[in-house]
Amino acid sequence: MSTKFAAFVGVAPGLEVPLLEELRELGAKPKQTGGGATCWLDAEGLWRVAHYARVAELLRVRLGQFEARNWSGLEKGLSKLPWRAYLKHGSAPRIRVSCKKSKLYHTSAIAERAAKIIGGAVSGPTGRDEAGNGPPCPDVHLRLGHDLCTVRVDAGGDMHKRGWRENQVAAPLRETLAAAVVRLSGWTPDAPLVDPFCGSGTIPLEALARALKPPSLAAPPLTTWASHSLRAYRDWSVDAGPLGKQATGTIWAGDNSPRAVQLATDNAELAGYGLVTTVLSDAAQMIKRAPEGAYVVSNPPYGKRIGAGELAKTTSALGAALRGRPDICATFITGWHGFQNASGIRWKTLAKTSNRGLPVVVLQRPAS
Ligand SMILES: C[S@@+](CC[C@H](N)C(=O)[O-])C[C@H]1O[C@@H](n2cnc3c(N)ncnc32)[C@H](O)[C@@H]1O
């Protein structure tokens, strides 16, 4: 029987529903928990989530949980964990600590103690190079809450990094958030999708990824675990191609900035898994010309880069264009609370979350 791992999949607050949907599609049986979901996964399940999840921010595996009211409780608990299954000899992992309502609260002192215990557990025939660096290894996360210490190792790495967004506009949307907005919009790949404020192209590219389901190419941290079977992983990855079908509806990316259009074009090429049609256009004009039954999914300007007057004018023109197109289902992610009034449209709130620390809402006007 293959080993099952207690996985924790993290997501930005407010996006638990799209995360659960995504995990179920990847064959997991997730349970919602604070900050994400937990599920039991075998090695193949972990590879699948690490390579194909788009909404998930992080993937970690729990090594254990114990009471740590004092230093000796912490050290005793840590020394019982199966470090050698995850860390090769000579490993010196980065240790991340967070504490909440616990007697032990000094994060750097906790990390120091943990480093000693872990170092002792994986010492021996050393895998260190001449410069004294240990072998590649996953980060270790200790979370203390109400004196209960949960220890996890990283499996998925920085899951929001797709490898294509080398160039971006000043306020790009986090890729994982864009993936969640596309899911929340209800768009299906057979329909046309239009992003009239595309910036670097994050939403159109996540839509394309939703259709084609390409695997991420970077090897996730779990491939460095001591017990990880590289051979089985290589066999699996040979067949790990796109899980989806080519989108049949066109994906349009527009912006009124020539630089943004160029960036979106370049990024689509860098991503290399399909076609996005880029257009230099004013957003309202683009909505007027959108194909029948299109989904407009977008992240309009809301920051300080655009003056208040221009913001109101752009949003009001956007609202007027949408009112003239009741066949369009429009979904926007915005951090501007004046958006609803300025657009003159009644929106349904689909989710509340944050983008780079700024509170944002996902709003929808369904097609009628
Ligand atoms: C918040 S950014 C979009 C960021 C994008 N989601 C990304 O991840 O890179 C808003 C974009 O709207 C564009 N924009 C502003 N006013 C516009 C208008 N009237 N018509 C079309 N694009 C506009 C800006 O050039 C900017 O690229």
- Candidate of 197, 261, 267, 286 to mutate for ligand 1, largest count of ligand atoms within 8 Å of Cβ: 197
Q: Do residue 195 and residue 95 come from a single domain?
A: no
d(CA 115, CA 172) in angstroms, rounded, equals 37
Mean pLDDT of the chain: 93
User: Is 189 among the domain residues?
Assistant: yes
Rounded (10°) angle between helices 202-212 and 258-271: 30
Q: Do residue 260 and residue 346 come from a single domain?
A: yes
Q: What is the pLDDT of residues 241-281, one digit of tens each?
A: 888 887 778 899 999 999 999 999 999 888 877 778 999 99
Interval 291-307 mean pLDDT: 89
Q: What is the pLDDT of residues 106-152, one digit of tens each?
A: 999 999 999 999 999 998 766 667 777 788 999 999 999 999 999 99
Q: The domain that contains 293 carries what CATH number?
A: 3.40.50.150
Of 183, 97, 90, 84, give the one whose Cα is nearest residue 140.
97
Q: Measured in angstroms, how far is the CA atom of residue 169 from the centroid of ligand 1? A: 8
pTM: 0.93
Q: Measured in angstroms, how far is the CA atom of residue 22 from the centroid of ligand 1? A: 27
- Candidate of 200, 256, 296, 333 to mutate for ligand 1, largest count of ligand atoms within 8 Å of Cβ: 256
Q: Measured in angstroms, how far is the CA atom of residue 345 from the centroid of ligand 1? A: 20
For residue 95 the two structure tokens come to 């240790």
The reported pLDDT for the residue numbered 128 is 67
Residue of the nearest CA to atom 17 in ligand 1?
256
Q: Do residue 91 and residue 121 come from a single domain?
A: yes
The reported pLDDT for the residue numbered 125 is 65
| Domain membership of residue 54 as a residue range | 5-154
DSSP-derived secondary structure for 148-173: EEEEEEESS-STT--S--SS--SSPP
pLDDT at 308 over 90: no
Q: 153 forms bridges with which residues in the sheet?
A: 61, 140
Of 275, 269, 273, give the one whose Cα is nearest residue 243.
273
For residue 329 the two structure tokens come to 């289902």
The reported pLDDT for the residue numbered 249 is 80
Three-point CA angle 212, 241, 46, nearest 5°: 100
Q: Between residues 170 and 344, which one has the greater pLDDT?
A: 344
Domain count, the chain: 2
